[in-house]
Amino acid sequence: MRVIEPPPPDPRLVRFEELFTCHHDDVLRYFVRRLDIRADAADLVAETFLVAWRRLDDVPKGEILPWLYGVARRVLSNHRRGESRRHGLADRLRDDLRTAVPAPEPVSVEAAEVFQQLSDTDREVLSLAAWEGLDTTQLAAALGCSRNAAMVRLHRARRRLERLLDNTPAGAKS
Amino acid sequence: MTNSLDFIRTLDQTATADPATQVTPETRADLLRSITATPMPLKRPVRRRLVPVLAAAAAVAAITALVVHVPGDNNQPPQALGAALSFTTEGDVMKVRVLDPEADVARYNKEFQQQGLNITLRLQPVSPSIVGQDIAMSGNSDDPEQIIPGRYPKDCKGTPASPCVPEFTVPLGFRGQADLYVGRTAKPGEAYSSAGDITGPGEALEGVDFKGRTVGYVLGRLAERGFSAEYRVGAKSEQSASAPPSWVVQDAVPSSDHHVILFVETP
């Protein structure tokens, strides 16, 4: 009696697969940019997509990536508070991230120091704009605030950074 | 003046050493597979109805005269506990029925083991209308023949007069590993991992036509039944602890035995 048809593909599975495939690398870069040790990104990538999988109904229909960055931001802050979990399912990714890569171009120590003088919230809004390339609408989605508030936060953060740069010896800016 | 965003871009350590190039396609596929293998709340079609667990178990116990082998615990008289599962061979598949969804999980897994199957049954807290139903499945198998979840008897309606029990169709000689998830009654206040239609039998808004009604109206109906609510607002489903009473409820999901999530929009 072999009449059993395989069930049709679950539309949630299809949706998640697309989301994962399109955005895995961006989420990975998000964490690598903000961590000292690359391999630490593995658990955080896994955690972010686990949240997306469990909350698939909450994932917006339109722009998904800013929403994912919003999740990633919370995952990262949990990690910084020492509350992240180690995932067995991230083992392979962790191993991959330990493989040798061409060493990143060294960044100017002075420039990094200037950036570190900013508050966490300033750094995050500037990073999302510069590294992830978010516009103000996307920033609002990632930061969980209104577009107006995101615009103001970005503007103020830029002003504070520019003031720091103006007070820094020219070498730091190159 | 220095462009501050250009300045920050120089600090991007992925610009010259992209971590994405370190990750193999197999690793991506492996992570995707592992994540989707974890249980998630499944929305169920409205036809899923109340399964009174004890009535269902009793009905099936009467029907399982076909049972080829009902394993019991050898150290105890089988009558004392009864089987948690029934295994029936039909052609080249085995039908596994969950006779007692409230039984101790260790008993299921012992019975699977006795059948030589690497299958684990896991009970998840669910909302009343899907107690005793299969809610998810995960596992690893290179076997093209997969386990298929279903309900038994085939024509059951999930009403007290026509109860259903979860039934999994397992290919004979299944060598893979699988986790089967079945809904159990949640403890007071325990968060559901899966929920049925909120207007279904025993649910927070049983029989209430709430879609398109105001938050005020829906909250009133919920309060009569002892439920509180939180909100997801607008297209982005942003979390909120409160919402104006004039806003419109688009959808609702049970969250625990006294709490629901309302999806709302501005009128």
Please answer yes or no on whether B35 and A46 come within 8 Å at the CB atom.
Answer: yes
Q: How far apart are CA B155 and CA B164, in angstroms?
A: 9
State the pLDDT at residue B139: 59
Cis peptide before A169 (omega within 30 of 0): no
Please answer yes or no on whether A162 and B4 come within 8 Å at the CB atom.
Answer: yes
**Which chain A residue lies closest to B263 (C-alpha atoms)?**
A58
- Residue ranges of the domains in chain A? 9-104, 106-174
A106–chain B nearest CA distance, Å: 8
Low-confidence winner among A16-25, A94-103, B73-82, B224-233 (lowest mean pLDDT) = B73-82
- Greater model confidence, A97 or B75: A97
Contacts 24+ apart (CB under 8 A), B100-107: B100/B53, B100/B57, B101/B53, B101/B57, B101/B131, B101/B132, B101/B165, B101/B166, B101/B182, B101/B183, B101/B184, B102/B53, B102/B184, B102/B185, B107/B73, B107/B81
The CATH class given to the A106-174 domain equals: mainly alpha
Q: Which residues of B touch A50 (CB under 8 A)?
A: 35, 38
Give pLDDT < 70 ranges for chain B: 1-2, 39-82, 134-145, 158-159, 235-237
CB A165 within 8 Å of CB B2: yes
From the candidates A5, A21, A23, A25, which should be mutated to test the interface with B, based on the most B CB atoms within 10 A?
A25
pLDDT at A4 over 70: no
A73–chain B nearest CA distance, Å: 15
Which alpha helices (DSSP H) does chain B contain, by range? 4-9, 25-36, 53-63, 78-81, 105-114, 215-224
**At B105, which amino acid appears?**
V
CB contact set of B25 (below 8 Å; sequence gap of 6+): none
Facing B2 at nearest CB: one of A1, A103, A165: A165
Backbone torsion region of residue A144, taken as left when φ is above 0, otherwise alpha when ψ lies between -120 and 50, otherwise beta: left
Facing B12 at nearest CB: one of A16, A101, A131: A131
Q: How far apart are CA A42 and CA A97, in angstroms?
A: 8
Query: What's CA B120's distance to the chain center, in Å?
Result: 15
Q: Which residues of A touch B93 (CB under 8 A)?
A: 1-2, 4
CB A130 within 8 Å of CB A83: no
State the pLDDT at residue B58: 35
From the candidates A15, A31, A107, A136, which should be mutated to test the interface with B, based on the most B CB atoms within 10 A?
A107
Find where tokens 């896994």 sit: A46
pLDDT at A9 over 70: no
Percent of chain A with pLDDT over 90: 36
Residue A81 in contact with partner chain B when CB distance is under 8 A: no
CB B48 within 8 Å of CB B129: yes
State the pLDDT at residue B145: 56
Q: How far apart are CA A32 and CA B101, in angstroms?
A: 45
- Greater model confidence, B163 or A30: A30
Q: How far apart are CA B186 and CA B169, in angstroms?
A: 26
Facing A99 at nearest CB: one of B7, B22, B34: B22
Please answer yes or no on whether A141 and B236 come within 8 Å at the CB atom.
Answer: yes
State the pLDDT at residue B245: 95
Mean residue pLDDT of chain A comes to 83
Q: Does the structural domain A9-104 have CATH classification 1.10.1740?
A: yes
Q: How far apart are CA B129 and CA B189, in angstroms?
A: 17
HSE of A157, CA atoms in CB hemisphere, 13 A = 24
In the structure encoding, which two tokens stand for residue B28, read together?
């991506």
HSE of A29, CA atoms in CB hemisphere, 13 A = 20
> In 3-state terms, what secondary structure has residue B104?
coil
Q: How far apart are CA B239 and CA A58, in angstroms?
A: 10
Please answer yes or no on whether B8 and A130 come within 8 Å at the CB atom.
Answer: yes
Low-confidence winner among A92-101, A151-160, B198-207 (lowest mean pLDDT) = A92-101
State the pLDDT at residue B130: 81
Query: What's CA B36's distance to the chain center, in Å?
Result: 13
Find where tokens 């590294």 sit: A131
Please answer yes or no on whether A107 and B253 come within 8 Å at the CB atom.
Answer: no
State the pLDDT at residue A84: 65
* pTM score, whole prediction: 0.49
Q: What average pLDDT does this structure show over A34-56?
A: 90
CB contact set of A92 (below 8 Å; sequence gap of 6+): B26, B27, B30, B31
DSSP conformation class of B75: T
State the pLDDT at residue A169: 64
Let me know the angle formed at the C-alpha of A40 by A37 and A41, rounded to the nearest 5 degrees.
105
Strands B259-265 and B228-233, by their bridges, are parallel
